[in-house]
A and B are shown apart, each in its own frame.
Chain A
Amino acid sequence: MSKTLVEKIWDAHVVKSETGFPDILYIDTHLIHEVTSPQAFDGLRKRGLPVLRPKQTVATADHNVPTINQLLPIKEELSRYQVDMLTKNCAEFGIELYGLGHPFQGIVHVIGPELGITLPGKTMVCGDSHTSTHGAFGAIAFGIGTSQVEQVFATQCLLQQKPKTMKIEVNGKLEKGVTAKDIILYIIAKISAAGGTGYFIEYAGSAIEALSMEARMTICNMSIEMGARGGLIAPDQTTFDYIKGREFAPAGAEWDKALEYWKTLYSDADATFDSVLKFSAEDIAPMITYGTNPGMGMGIKEHIPSTNSQPDKEQLSYQKALDYMGFKDDSSLIGKPIDYVFIGSCTNSRIEDLREVAEFVKDKQKAENVTVWIVPGSKQVEQQAKNEGLDKIFEHAGFQLREPGCSACLGMNEDKIPAGKYCVSTSNRNFEGRQGPNARTLLVSPLTAAAAAVTGRITDVRDLLVEA
């Protein structure tokens, strides 16, 4: 019987399937961090259980860490306690921890791929909704709650309903200045913040196949922003080339065996999806969000849709979002002054993102009215940026290159955007208060963020690329 990629991987991991019950799904790799794990470890203690497969579990500290002076004790007491708890819990339960100071430390969804832990055909979970990132390798990867973290600790399995499948095809060639982030913001704007709920999404088509692994991660990362449990892309030569030689990737005979299996990981030509959507790359412009959910996005030169054009029942929430942002119906955002630029997060903090920004800002400087933070996704990304001299370019531009962590993506650690300020951000969520109480977030690609940093205003990066 023909199968989709999701079905192939899912079926290979079902421990038990019984009518009337969710499947018992085996989990190959469990990633954990300091925020969503302590209550799960406590649960194990209360039940008197060990972590069943500690070697299939990897930990890092990312959400709650400062991004300057990381080797000093964390100033904020509760944050410090939470990070210390992770260290203690990992030691007690025998889990490898890449904590602060470790050369592998970083955002959980950046380190998995760069260490060769994320591999095609795997099932992977983490107590973080952006676990969908790992789907870029052709893995089933999704975010879970803390009770489920405890479940995976205790059993290396999860009780899960098999998801519905959706295929999103993007064909054609992207215009210069348009990137993977714009593709995914475009898709979300088209299908809404709830349009993918209940589905696992497979991204396909020539525009997706042409993307690098890091760009594919940006796409899969934001699957959750349309409500999808996960998103994935069939592995191909780009995938295999990226994985080969990484720290924990298979090598030698193991590599050959793995590769043989990975090459079977694609949706069969006649496999049926529950839903299929198609988009043209040529229709996609650099995107920006204007509201308080990632579905409220538009081409950067477009005007904000009017409240009246929204369905009746949604007008109140829509108006509330525009009021929060300080924006008006039918207005354009081009030329609007901004206060902060944040380049980072599990969506866009990898070396290619930093290279792209550096190439654009080389010999340029930030506008005076803007504070610019660049937060690399991991110690390895940070080191690579320095090896390539990107740090000098950022320094000259007046950008702050900070240390790895989730930083201003989520307003949890020390890095917060002040109330009322506008932040042009490469992160994934523009919810009210996401980057700090009353902060206003505009989601964009790294290239669009770099353009805003240089002009101090919302800018169509294509206009600057033409000049260059």
Chain B
Amino acid sequence: MRKFVRLTSAIVPLNIENIDTDQIIPARFLKATTREGFGENLFRDWRYNGDNTPKPEFVLNDPTYNGQVLVAGKNFGCGSSREHAAWAIQDAGFDVVISSFFADIFKGNALNNGLLPIQVSDDFLSAIFTAVGKNHKAQLDVDLENQTVTIADTGEQTNFEINPYKKSCLINGYDDIDFILDQKSLIEEFEQKR
């Protein structure tokens, strides 16, 4: 799994609520049998017209914005369990997604791929959108070790929560399978006891 420790980056703002995984990657693009290449269809129907020409007004097509941090409205990643959503975001070059609320399955999928989902307060989310509204190149500093996000322009800072186990997985780049396999004998004992 990809490691994550710390990142300072510009922001791609997507101030829409309830962004579901069908928007992140529509089902018709889930036919690949590998994990790579989903980035080109990230937000497909918001990003491209029916004739595959880009919609210039959509933020991912606007060269003003770039960076490895996607910032979105609340209840991000609701809907389908498709891990392809996390793969698509990562494949498009993002390492962090910030929202004021995440759907459970998406959050788990992101963490299992080294894509860091950070939940902040509604107010801090608004502060980020305001900062990037004033300065399109505004930088965020994301520090997993200290569990902080800082808006560089204003110095506003917040802490975020993360399960300590998942935190160590991200910092060390190891995954749940490694963890469980280390305790395989317990599984067999459990099965025999039942």
Contact = CB atoms under 8 A, between A and B. Distances in A.
Interface of A: 15-16, 20-22, 24, 26, 35-36, 38-39, 42-43, 47, 52, 63-64, 78-79, 81-82, 85, 127-129, 131, 143-148, 150-151, 154-159, 161, 193-194, 197-198, 224, 227, 229, 292-293, 295, 313-314, 316-317, 320, 410-412, 416, 419, 429, 431-434, 437-438
A295 to B, nearest CB: 8
Interface residues of B, number: 54
Given A313-B122, A429-B79, 19 more contacts: A24-B186, A26-B187, A52-B187, A79-B31, A81-B31, A145-B81, A145-B82, A146-B84, A148-B112, A150-B177, A155-B187, A197-B103, A229-B104, A293-B18, A295-B18, A317-B16, A317-B17, A416-B28, A431-B23
8 contacts: A39-B34, A64-B31, A78-B31, A82-B31, A82-B33, A146-B83, A227-B78, A410-B22
A194 B99 CA distance: 13
Interface of B: 15-18, 20, 22-23, 26-28, 30-35, 45, 50, 73-75, 78-84, 86, 101, 103-105, 108-109, 112-113, 122, 126, 163-165, 175-177, 179-181, 183-184, 186-187, 190-191
B186 A16 contact: yes
A405 B108 CA distance: 28
Nearest to B101: A194
Given A431-B22, A438-B50, A35 B177 contact: no
B45 A438 contact: yes
B101 to A, nearest CB: 6
B32 A78 contact: yes
Nearest to B1: A147
Instruction: From A145, A157, A295, name the one whose CB has the most chain B CB atoms within 10 angstroms.
Output: A145
Given A36-B83, A154-B177, A42 B34 contact: yes
A194 B75 contact: yes
A36 B45 contact: no
A437 B144 CA distance: 38
Most chain B beta-carbon contacts within 10 A, residue among A16, A22, A159, A432: A159
Given A78-B32, A79-B31, A129-B105, A159 B23 contact: no
B75 A155 contact: no
A131 B80 CA distance: 11
B22 A16 contact: no
A320 B33 CA distance: 33
Contacts, number: 174
Given A147-B112, A193-B75, A155 B18 contact: no
Nearest to A86: B33
A147 B176 contact: yes
B22 A432 contact: yes
Contacts of A129: 79-81, 105
B146 to A, nearest CB: 18
B20 to A, nearest CB: 5
A39 B113 CA distance: 13
Contacts of B16: 316-317, 320
Contact of B50 (A20, A79, A292, A419): A419
Contact of A317 (B18, B86, B164): B18
Nearest to B22: A431
Given A36-B81, A194-B75, A15 B187 contact: yes
The residue among A15, A292, A416 with the most chain B CB atoms within 10 A of its own CB is A15
A85 to B, nearest CB: 5
A35 B30 contact: yes
